Structure 1
Amino acid sequence: MKLHELYPFPEERASRKRVGRGRATGWGCTSGRGNKGQNSRAGAKHRAWFEGGQMPIARRLPKRGFKNYPFKVVFQPINLDRLLASFDGKDAITLDDIYDRGLAPAGALVKILSVGEVAAAVTVEAHKFSAKAAEKITAAGGKVIALGTPEALTETPTE
């Protein structure tokens, strides 16, 4: 195969539209750009949201609501079955153990969820527990140690 045998063949390709080559071509005079205005000029570019200098819609409409994301508290959920499978036969599971096994990223807030069954008594330490998870652990004779969120740990109790 040679270069001249490649498809599409040169005679089948549409030739490039050459504008501004006389009125008889149909693309002379204004070259398909219309009469006057910003878009008829050379190098004419404007951002899609530009409204020609009038007050933009984003500034015409009022602001609403608020952003709470700087204060959002995100917990890393861990199901009971996965937790107990990772620590099979261990009677006490601390937060550091959870981080070391890779069940949660180091320093993440951990919440234990109730998916799975607890067969033996086990002491579990986490920031938060679902009500059913805590119930299952205590029903099996275990102990729940809820550390709370860091904000709750640093706040001084008012008496």
Structure 2
Amino acid sequence: MKLNELRDKEGATHSRKRLGRGIGSGSGKTAGRGVKGQKARSGVAINGFEGGQMPLYRRLPKRGFKNPFSKSFNAVSLGRIQTAVDAGKLDAKEVVTAEALIKAGVIRRPLDGVRVLSDGELKAKLSFDVAGASKAAVEKIEKAGGSVKLPEPVVPVKKMVKKAK
């Protein structure tokens, strides 16, 4: 094959639609835009516009509340961790943290931390350093001979003031 013989595969390129080249071309005169009006012009942005009437999205009441302080945790089951240990992806001698779980491919990204749930069985003796764990998960981990280190709960300022009195 020579450079001058190089070609795209059959059907890979499409010829451009030539607009406004006479009525006989099939896309002449209005060039496929229909007739007059706002949509026939260029620079149209009328999504949600109702001809001056108050749009539906403004007529309906606002609902709900988005907590700006909410946290999003990765929920990981004990069964999933045990399969990672069995596969040799997670070292039983190391402390199980968010970074270790990412390295093992159990979770993709750390988010606001990892929360361990009790689904499945845990046979390996593991020590966890995670953001949270369910009571049942802590019981299963300790039953298997492991330990769980959880962060100290944050006491709100209002409660601290009441205790001082």
Task: Describe the SS at the equivalent of 1:53.
Answer: coil
- Structure number with larger C-alpha Rg: 1
Report the counterpart of residue 16 of structure 1 in structure 2: 26
Report the counterpart of residue 144 of structure 2 in structure 1: 140
Unaligned runs of 5+ in 2: 1-23
Matches within 5 A, 1:48-63: 48-63=47-62
Name the CA distance, whole Å, in 1 between partners of 2:40 and 2:145.
Answer: 80
Matches within 5 A, 1:1-159: 15-16=25-26, 33=35, 39=37, 43=41, 45=44, 47-68=46-67, 70-84=68-82, 85=85, 86-90=89-93, 93-95=95-97, 98=100, 101-102=103-104, 103-104=106-107, 105=109, 108-147=112-151, 152-153=153-154, 158=160, 159=163
CA RMSD of aligned residues (A): 3.7
What letter is aligned with 1:137?
Answer: I
Q: Identity of counterpart residues, as a percentage? A: 33
Superposition deviation, residue 147 in structure 1: 1.8
Task: Describe the SS at the equivalent of 1:101.
Answer: helix
Superposition deviation, residue 42 in structure 1: 6.4
Compared CA separation, residues 99 and 88, structure 1 to 2 (3 A):
closer
Task: Describe the SS at the equivalent of 1:77.
Answer: strand
TM-score (norm 1): 0.56
Name the CA distance, whole Å, in 1 between partners of 2:70 and 2:98.
Answer: 23
Deviations 1:75-100 (CA, angstroms, capped at 9, x unpaired)? 1122324435044441x625376267
Task: Describe the SS at the equivalent of 2:65.
Answer: coil
Name the CA distance, whole Å, in 2 between partners of 1:136 and 1:153.
Answer: 25
- Name the count of aligned residue pairs: 126
TM-score (norm 2): 0.54
